[in-house]
Amino acid sequence: MLIPKKNRVAIYEHLFREGVMVAAKDFNLPKHPELESVPNLQVIKAMQSLKSRGFVNETYNWRHYYYYLNNEGINYLRDYLHLPVEIVPSTLRRAARQEGQRPRPKGFGGERPGRGEDDRSTYRRTEGFGGAEGKPAGAGADFKPEFRGGFGRGAPRAAGAQ
Protein backbone atom coordinates (compact mmCIF):
# COMPACT_ATOMS: atom_id res chain seq x y z
CA MET A 1 0.00 0.00 0.00
CA LEU A 2 1.26 3.47 -0.81
CA ILE A 3 1.49 5.55 2.34
CA PRO A 4 2.45 9.25 2.16
CA LYS A 5 5.89 9.91 3.63
CA LYS A 6 4.59 12.36 6.26
CA ASN A 7 2.14 9.71 7.55
CA ARG A 8 4.83 7.00 7.55
CA VAL A 9 7.20 9.29 9.46
CA ALA A 10 4.43 10.15 11.96
CA ILE A 11 3.73 6.44 12.50
CA TYR A 12 7.41 5.58 12.92
CA GLU A 13 8.03 8.52 15.28
CA HIS A 14 5.13 7.49 17.49
CA LEU A 15 6.27 3.86 17.47
CA PHE A 16 9.84 4.83 18.36
CA ARG A 17 8.76 7.26 21.09
CA GLU A 18 6.40 4.80 22.80
CA GLY A 19 7.99 1.48 21.85
CA VAL A 20 4.53 -0.02 21.28
CA MET A 21 1.61 0.62 18.94
CA VAL A 22 -2.03 -0.43 19.30
CA ALA A 23 -4.43 -0.47 16.36
CA ALA A 24 -8.04 -1.62 16.36
CA LYS A 25 -8.94 -4.02 13.57
CA ASP A 26 -11.18 -1.51 11.84
CA PHE A 27 -9.93 -0.83 8.34
CA ASN A 28 -12.57 1.86 7.72
CA LEU A 29 -11.73 4.00 10.74
CA PRO A 30 -11.03 7.49 9.36
CA LYS A 31 -8.19 8.22 11.81
CA HIS A 32 -6.10 6.37 14.33
CA PRO A 33 -6.98 7.27 17.95
CA GLU A 34 -3.37 8.21 18.86
CA LEU A 35 -2.36 9.70 15.51
CA GLU A 36 -5.10 12.16 14.55
CA SER A 37 -3.92 12.83 10.99
CA VAL A 38 -3.29 9.22 9.93
CA PRO A 39 -5.99 6.73 8.86
CA ASN A 40 -6.10 3.51 10.85
CA LEU A 41 -5.62 1.39 7.71
CA GLN A 42 -2.28 3.06 7.00
CA VAL A 43 -1.13 2.40 10.57
CA ILE A 44 -2.04 -1.29 10.30
CA LYS A 45 -0.33 -1.67 6.92
CA ALA A 46 2.84 0.15 8.02
CA MET A 47 3.05 -2.10 11.09
CA GLN A 48 2.39 -5.14 8.90
CA SER A 49 5.32 -4.12 6.73
CA LEU A 50 7.61 -3.75 9.77
CA LYS A 51 6.41 -7.12 11.06
CA SER A 52 7.22 -8.89 7.78
CA ARG A 53 10.77 -7.49 7.97
CA GLY A 54 11.12 -8.68 11.58
CA PHE A 55 11.28 -5.24 13.24
CA VAL A 56 8.17 -5.59 15.43
CA ASN A 57 6.38 -8.43 17.20
CA GLU A 58 2.62 -8.65 16.77
CA THR A 59 -0.05 -9.87 19.16
CA TYR A 60 -3.70 -9.96 18.15
CA ASN A 61 -6.33 -10.00 20.86
CA TRP A 62 -9.99 -8.96 20.94
CA ARG A 63 -9.96 -7.17 17.56
CA HIS A 64 -6.83 -5.16 18.39
CA TYR A 65 -3.33 -5.48 17.02
CA TYR A 66 -0.54 -4.92 19.53
CA TYR A 67 2.90 -4.23 18.04
CA TYR A 68 6.08 -4.29 20.15
CA LEU A 69 9.32 -2.82 18.84
CA ASN A 70 12.30 -5.19 19.10
CA ASN A 71 16.04 -4.40 19.01
CA GLU A 72 16.37 -4.71 15.22
CA GLY A 73 13.38 -2.39 14.83
CA ILE A 74 14.95 0.17 17.16
CA ASN A 75 18.10 0.20 15.03
CA TYR A 76 16.10 0.44 11.79
CA LEU A 77 13.91 3.32 13.02
CA ARG A 78 16.96 5.11 14.43
CA ASP A 79 18.52 5.02 10.95
CA TYR A 80 15.27 5.90 9.16
CA LEU A 81 14.46 8.85 11.43
CA HIS A 82 18.13 9.97 11.74
CA LEU A 83 18.11 9.83 15.54
CA PRO A 84 21.19 9.72 17.80
CA VAL A 85 22.02 6.65 19.88
CA GLU A 86 21.13 8.43 23.16
CA ILE A 87 17.42 8.56 22.30
CA VAL A 88 15.62 5.35 23.24
CA PRO A 89 11.93 4.29 23.30
CA SER A 90 10.04 4.87 26.54
CA THR A 91 9.70 1.11 27.06
CA LEU A 92 13.48 0.88 27.55
CA ARG A 93 13.80 3.84 29.91
CA ARG A 94 13.96 3.23 33.62
CA ALA A 95 11.44 5.08 35.73
CA ALA A 96 13.17 7.89 37.60
CA ARG A 97 12.67 7.86 41.38
CA GLN A 98 10.97 10.90 42.72
CA GLU A 99 12.74 12.77 45.51
CA GLY A 100 9.63 12.87 47.73
CA GLN A 101 8.95 9.16 47.41
CA ARG A 102 9.39 7.16 50.62
CA PRO A 103 11.26 3.85 50.61
CA ARG A 104 9.08 0.80 51.04
CA PRO A 105 8.95 -0.73 54.50
CA LYS A 106 10.79 -4.04 54.90
CA GLY A 107 8.06 -5.55 57.05
CA PHE A 108 6.34 -5.20 60.37
CA GLY A 109 8.65 -5.66 63.32
CA GLY A 110 11.86 -6.27 61.37
CA GLU A 111 12.71 -9.49 59.62
CA ARG A 112 10.01 -11.97 58.72
CA PRO A 113 10.37 -15.10 60.82
CA GLY A 114 11.09 -18.26 58.85
CA ARG A 115 8.45 -20.92 58.73
CA GLY A 116 9.37 -24.45 59.66
CA GLU A 117 7.54 -27.74 59.83
CA ASP A 118 6.51 -26.97 63.39
CA ASP A 119 4.40 -24.10 62.14
CA ARG A 120 2.36 -26.30 59.84
CA SER A 121 1.86 -29.12 62.29
CA THR A 122 0.72 -26.77 65.05
CA TYR A 123 -1.70 -25.13 62.63
CA ARG A 124 -3.22 -28.44 61.73
CA ARG A 125 -3.46 -29.59 65.34
CA THR A 126 -5.05 -26.48 66.82
CA GLU A 127 -8.50 -26.66 68.31
CA GLY A 128 -11.34 -25.81 66.02
CA PHE A 129 -9.56 -27.42 63.10
CA GLY A 130 -10.38 -31.00 62.27
CA GLY A 131 -13.01 -33.33 63.58
CA ALA A 132 -14.93 -33.38 66.81
CA GLU A 133 -13.12 -33.56 70.17
CA GLY A 134 -9.75 -32.61 68.69
CA LYS A 135 -9.49 -35.69 66.49
CA PRO A 136 -7.78 -35.08 63.16
CA ALA A 137 -10.07 -34.66 60.20
CA GLY A 138 -9.97 -36.73 57.05
CA ALA A 139 -9.70 -40.41 56.30
CA GLY A 140 -8.14 -42.65 58.89
CA ALA A 141 -4.99 -44.71 58.47
CA ASP A 142 -7.03 -47.85 57.72
CA PHE A 143 -8.83 -46.26 54.75
CA LYS A 144 -8.24 -48.28 51.57
CA PRO A 145 -10.30 -47.12 48.59
CA GLU A 146 -11.56 -49.72 46.10
CA PHE A 147 -11.77 -48.99 42.40
CA ARG A 148 -14.02 -51.37 40.58
CA GLY A 149 -14.86 -51.23 36.90
CA GLY A 150 -17.16 -48.36 36.09
CA PHE A 151 -18.89 -46.84 33.13
CA GLY A 152 -17.42 -45.20 30.06
CA ARG A 153 -13.65 -45.32 29.77
CA GLY A 154 -13.32 -47.12 33.08
CA ALA A 155 -15.61 -49.97 32.07
CA PRO A 156 -14.09 -53.39 31.49
CA ARG A 157 -13.69 -54.31 27.84
CA ALA A 158 -16.13 -56.66 26.21
CA ALA A 159 -14.60 -59.89 24.89
CA GLY A 160 -15.29 -59.15 21.18
CA ALA A 161 -14.63 -55.39 21.14
CA GLN A 162 -11.21 -53.97 20.34
Q: What is the mean pLDDT of residues 37-44?
A: 92
Segment 49-58 mean pLDDT:
94
Does pLDDT of 98 surpass 60? yes
pTM above 0.75, yes or no: no
Positive/negative CA dihedral, 65, 68, 73, 79: positive
List, in sequence order, the alpha helices (H) in the chain: 5-18, 40-52, 71-80, 117-125
CA angle 54, 59, 65 (to 5 degrees): 100
The mean per-residue pLDDT over the stretch 47-64 comes to 93
Per-residue confidence at 156, pLDDT binned at 50, 70, 90?
Answer: low
pLDDT (average), residues 38-55: 93
Bridge partners (DSSP) of residue 64 are 24, 61
